[in-house]
Amino acid sequence: MRFLASAVLLTLATAASAQLDETEQRIAAAVKERSPAALQLLEKSVRVNSGTLNPEGVREVGKIFAAEFESLGFKTRWAEMPPEMKRAGHLVATHEGTQGKRLLLIGHLDTVFEKNSPVVPWDPRGDRVRGQGVGDMKGGDVIVIEALRALRKVGVLDNTRISVIYTGDEERAGSPLEVARKDMIDLAKRSDVALAFEGSIRRDHGGAGQDMASYSRRSSGGWTLKVSAKSGHSGQVFRENYGAGAIYEAARIIDAFRENLVEENLTFNVGTFSGGTQVSYDEATSQSTAFGKTNVIAKEAIVVGDLRYLTPEQGERVKARMREIVAKSLPHAKAEIAFKDSYPPHAPTEAGRNLLELYSKASMDAGFGPIGALPPADRGAGDLNFVAPIVTGIDGLGAHGSGAHTDNEDLEIASIERGAIRAAILIYRLTR
C-alpha cells in the first residue's frame, strides 16, 4: 500500500513540474546541479562553532557566508553591536536594482550550541546529518544562498532589489532589543516582502507529510507581579485588621487570570512564585529566594510569568484585564503588575496569507506539493516578528529536520535542495 501511494504521488509530482516555465525549469536545474557543493558549504559553516555567546565563531560563520554573497554580486557589511551587549553583530548583504518587489531575506548565524557543547558538530547518517545548528538554521542560510546562486546562474538576479540579514543573536537576542534589531528594522522599512528561513515544519496528513510555513504567530513577552501586605502573627490571618497576606493575594490574582482570561491564541504561563517575609527575584539568573515562617503572615510575594498573544489589540485588551484583576486587592494588600514585551506579534493579514499562497504555488509547480499554514501558536516567536509590523512576511522556508535545540538536532539533507528550489522560484516570481 505504501509503495502504491508513493507511486501515485510521484506521478502527480511529475505532472505538476510542467507548471514551471522554461526559465524556472533552468533555475530548478541550477539548484540541483549545486546540491553536493551546497552540502559542503553547509558542513563548512556548521564545523565552526557559533553559539550566540561565541562572537568570534559567529563572525567567522558570517565571513563564510559573506564571501558567497559577494560572489553573487551583493555588497556586504558587518553590523557591529556595542561591546557591552556581548553579541557578535549581524551580516547584511544587499543587491540594488529597480525591478519587482523589494525583498528582505532573514537568517541567523548563531546556534544554541555554545563552545562547550558536547554535541558533535557534524555527523552524517545516510540521508540525514546530525549536528550543531544544521536545521536551526545554517541549513536555511545555505538555502538562501543556493536559491540566489541559481537565479544568478540563469541570469535573472540582475536588477533585483534584495536585502539579506543573518543575525548573530537570534537564539539569545542582545539587549536592548531596539539596538539589537535596528539594522533589521531599517532593512524592513525599505522592503515590501520578508522571507524568513527558519526550519520548515512538517505535519502528517494521512501518512503523507506536508510542509508547513507561518504567516502569523504570537508575541513573546512577560510580566512580573509584586505584592505586599500587612504582616503579623499567623493566628491573626483573615482578621479584619490583618487580612490574608501577600501569598493569598498573589494566588487570588493568578487564579483569577486562569478563571477569566483564557481564550484562543492567548497563553500566560506562571514561571515562578515566591512569597514570605522577604523575597527577591533576579531576572538575569531567573532565580528567586524566599524567607518566611509558617507562623507569620506573608509580607511579600513575587510572581513571574510570560504572555503570548496574536494581535496588538488582543495584547492591549488582555493587559488591561490583568491590571483590573490586580487592582482588586484583598484588604491590607496591594499589588502591581509590570509587562515587558520582547517580540511583537505577527498578526495574521490577508497579504500574509496571499504570500503563503504564492509560496505554496511555487512549491506545487516545482512538484513538491502544497505548503500548509501552520497554526500561529505552533511556532514560537522569531526574528520575523520584529519586522512583521512593517512588512508582509512568512517564515519556515528553511531546511527540514528534527530535534532543533537538542543534542539530536538533525537535518534531512534533501530538504536543502527542495527548499532552495521553492525559494528560488518564489523569489523569481516576486521580483519580475
Give residues in contact with Zn ion (CB under 5 A).
136-137, 198
Q: Is 198 or 417 the residue whose CB approaches Zn ion more closely?
A: 198
Q: Is 63 or 405 the residue whose CB approaches Zn ion more closely?
A: 405
Q: Is 136 or 410 the residue whose CB approaches Zn ion more closely?
A: 136
Compute the least distance from the CB of residue 185 to Zn ion, in Å: 19
> β-strand 208-213 against 128-131: which pairing, if any?
unpaired
Distance CA 383, CA 37 (A): 28
Q: What's the number of CA atoms in the CB half-sphere (13 Å) around residue 72?
A: 30
Compute the least distance from the CB of residue 379 to Zn ion, in Å: 10
- Of 143, 128, 146, the C-alpha closest to 411 is 128
- Of 59, 64, 63, the C-alpha closest to 89 is 59
Compute the least distance from the CB of residue 404 to Zn ion, in Å: 7
Compute the least distance from the CB of residue 110 to Zn ion, in Å: 8
Compute the least distance from the CB of residue 383 to Zn ion, in Å: 8
Grid cell at residue 55:
562572537
Q: Which residue lies nearest Zn ion, judged by its C-beta? A: 136
Compute the least distance from the CB of residue 137 to Zn ion, in Å: 4
Distance CA 168, CA 79 (A): 10
Compute the least distance from the CB of residue 113 to Zn ion, in Å: 12
Q: Is 137 or 394 the residue whose CB approaches Zn ion more closely?
A: 137
Indicate the residue type of 334: K
| C-alpha of 225 from chain center | 27
- Of 357, 320, 325, 356, the C-alpha closest to 339 is 320
Compute the least distance from the CB of residue 88 to Zn ion, in Å: 15
Residues 6+ away with beta carbon under 8 Å from 15: none
Q: Helix (H) and strand (E) counts for the chain?
A: 12, 19
Indicate the residue type of 211: D
Q: Is 137 or 335 the residue whose CB approaches Zn ion more closely?
A: 137
Q: Is 228 or 385 the residue whose CB approaches Zn ion more closely?
A: 385
Distance CA 361, CA 314 (A): 32
Q: What's the maximum distance between 2 C-alpha atoms anywhere in the chain? A: 85
DSSP class of residue 289 equals: E
Residues 6+ away with beta carbon under 8 Å from 281: 224, 272, 274, 287, 288, 302, 304
Q: Is 220 or 311 the residue whose CB approaches Zn ion more closely?
A: 220
Q: Is the dihedral of CA 409, 413, 418, 419 positive or negative?
A: positive
Compute the least distance from the CB of residue 374 to Zn ion, in Å: 15
Q: Is 199 or 369 the residue whose CB approaches Zn ion more closely?
A: 199
Q: Is 137 or 225 the residue whose CB approaches Zn ion more closely?
A: 137
